[in-house]
Copies of this chain bind each other. A is one copy, B any other.
Amino acid sequence: MNFSEYFPVFSKLTKQEQLALTDSVTLRKMKKGTVIHGGDEECLGLLVIRSGQLRSFIFSEEGREITVYRLFDHDICLFTASCVMKSIQFDVTVSAEKDTDAWIVPIGVYQRLMENSAVIANYTNEIMASRFTDVMWLVEQIMWKSFDKRLADFLAEECIIEETDILRITHEQIASHLGTAREVVTRMLRYFQSEGIVKLMRGSIRIIDMEKLSDMSR
């Protein structure tokens, strides 16, 4: 599959707009752990994920992190192109959670298309609305949901993403996703273990009662 099949509104563009995209787009391979956006990184352009996984997060002055959202195959990362939208007055960091292949639409090309094409501008709108929805979901989670439920939710989601019931993840990494301290995660995981929901092993967590885990996250 090539770029045009990953860019949903491609067929609605004029021939000229389609050429501007296909002539300028490049495929980039990013190793797991690479910081793609944030801090001193330049504004890369619009990123269309062919395969892999990206994580978008913010951090406090003390260096504590919280995951804002994650992106998968076919998703589009708007914040690597956020410099074209002057009203975005916040910064998120985007890094590759897995080895990732993504097409990059250069920032200048994207900006020109957006300024002139209502189709591209409205599509950009839809992407932003999706990310906005992710963040509102996050606000509801941190405001109204107790930590045991959030942790159960996270573990269940990880099992779906990784297609396994043995998660190779440290307590520290979970803490960075959920915006809390490692000790808080460890304490709650031990409670989950005492309830027969998980088994804690060196460097990994095995889910032994998926039904109870799902019940808990509700």
- A167 at interface, CB cutoff 8 A: no
Q: Which of A185-205 contact B (CB under 8 A)?
A: none
- Main SS of chain A's interface residues? helix
- A64 at interface, CB cutoff 8 A: yes
A115 to B94, CA, bound (A): 31
B interface footprint on A60-100 (CB within 8 Å = 1, 0 otherwise): 11101010100000000000000001111110100000000
The listed residue (B87, B130, B140) touching A129 by CB distance below 8 A is: B87
Check A140–B87 contact: CB distance below 8 A. Answer: no
Report the minimal beta-carbon distance from A185 to chain B, rounded to whole angstroms.
16
Query: What total of chain A residues lie within 8 Å of the partner, measured CB to CB?
Result: 42
Q: Which of A117-164 contact B (CB under 8 A)?
A: 117-118, 120-122, 124-133, 135-140, 142-144
Task: Give this chain's copy count.
Answer: 2
A49 to B128, CA, bound (A): 24
The listed residue (B58, B114, B129) touching A136 by CB distance below 8 A is: B58
Check B61–A133 contact: CB distance below 8 A. Answer: no
The listed residue (B61, B92, B121, B143) touching A118 by CB distance below 8 A is: B121
Contacts of A129 in B (CB 8 A): 85, 87-88, 128
Measuring CB to CB, which residues of chain A are less than 8 angstroms from any residue of chain B? Answer: 58, 60-62, 64, 66, 68, 85-90, 92, 114-118, 120-122, 124-133, 135-140, 142-144, 179
